[in-house]
Structure 1
Amino acid sequence: MPNYELKAEQINALSEQVSNASCVVVGDYRGMTADQMDNLRKLSRSENVHIKILKNTLAKRALNGTQFSCLDDVLKGPVMLALAFEEPGSAAKLIKRVMKDVDVLSVKGLSLGDDLLGPEQLTAIAELPNREQALSMLLGNLKAPTTKLAQTLQQTYTKLAYALNAYNDTKAN
């Protein structure tokens, strides 16, 4: 198989993965040891994050035509793509956690869709709640007014009972 056909297959496969992703983080991995990279890959498998290291030209072609085409500007030098599929913040959480241990790993940019976000936004994206946490927060907020109403009504009946009990005690004496 000629080299250009192989590259075309790689581009199509990566483009399909990127179009299914919910978040892409572009990082600079220069200076990472093989052990650090292995650790990153192991952690990424457990978090359902795909790590891709490839040439910029292939990455640009794969990102072209997807919602992450805005990342073309940060594809300079050696880059690593971290693709999150189920939870948008999972790639950012993984990279942030690894950056604590690996000083040479840095973020060039990230995207949740059509907008390019800078490296300073990594923490904000990493702190996004996952789907279960967001749903539980929503249910808690929906449940709060009815709970407060029930507590208020209960307190009214309790105060009435105390008042009647006190009145009954004064009549008994």
Structure 2
Amino acid sequence: MNRQEKAQIIEQFHEKAARANIAVVTDFKGMTVEEMTDLRAKCYEAGVDFQVVKNTLARLALKDTDHGELSEHLKDNCAFALGYEDPVALAKVLTDFAKTSKKFELKFGCLEGKYLDADGIKELSKMPTKPELLSSVLGTMQAVPRNFVSLFANIERKFLYALVAIKDQKEQGEAA
């Protein structure tokens, strides 16, 4: 790999890392091509970039980003997962894959400039994803008007029952 290719890799990775709100470093040593392909497919579905970058190039690329702190922890084989929208989705994909693969391992990460160890990433994966949170908020927002309408419907219904009872009572009084 010549200098120009390295500079291009650094520039591309820097641009991705600068946009990402979460970056997770993983160990992929000993994984098969099929496992890596499966992991990349799952990451792609979740909107996550997963790529292997040499540590020296990654250190240069991570400078002046929120994830610059990761540079000092890079050792051995490293692959980077970068998430742009939902950090929980990234954590869930990687944690679930780590459960099924014996050779894949979460090392550490950085969420919006804050360092996370492997346990922190696992804890993040237990949180609800952005769509789950949005549906919960929407359900809560819809509950108030729904309950309000239901309350008035019940009042009208009870009023109608009272009128029907009065009518039935008058009809019985006339029949007697």
Please state which band the TM-score falls in when normalised by the shorter chain.
0.7 to 0.9
Q: Which consecutive unaligned segments of at least 5 residues does structure 2 have?
A: none
Structure-2 separation of matches of 1:110 and 1:154: 53
Q: 1:22-65 deviations in whole A, cap 9, x for unaligned?
A: 32111111222232122222333333322121222221221111
Structure-1 separation of matches of 2:133 and 2:161: 41
Q: Is the 8 A contact 1:26 1:74 kept in 2?
A: no
Q: State the 4+ residue runs in structure 1 displaced beyond 4 angstroms.
A: none
Superposed counterparts of 1:15-164, under 5 Å: 15-126=14-125, 127-130=127-130, 132-164=131-163
Code of the residue aligned with 1:149 in structure 2: it is F
Q: Normalization by structure 2: what TM-score?
A: 0.83
User: The residue matched to 2:108 in structure 1 has which SS?
Assistant: strand
Q: Which moved more, 1:134-143 or 1:78-87?
A: 134-143
Structure-1 separation of matches of 2:73 and 2:141: 41
Structure-1 separation of matches of 2:110 and 2:140: 29
- What is the aligned-residue identity percentage? 29
Structure-2 separation of matches of 1:50 and 1:82: 6
Between structure 1 and structure 2, the one with the greater Rg is: 2
Q: Which moved more, 1:71-80 or 1:153-162?
A: 71-80
Q: Which moved more, 1:44-53 or 1:157-166?
A: 44-53
User: The residue matched to 2:109 in structure 1 has which SS?
Assistant: strand
Q: Is the 8 A contact 1:23 1:89 kept in 2?
A: no
What is the aligned residue count? 171
Q: Normalization by structure 1: what TM-score?
A: 0.84
Q: Which consecutive unaligned segments of at least 5 residues does structure 1 have?
A: none
Structure-2 separation of matches of 1:74 and 1:144: 48
User: The residue matched to 1:111 in structure 2 has which SS?
Assistant: strand
CA drift of 1:14 comes to 0.6
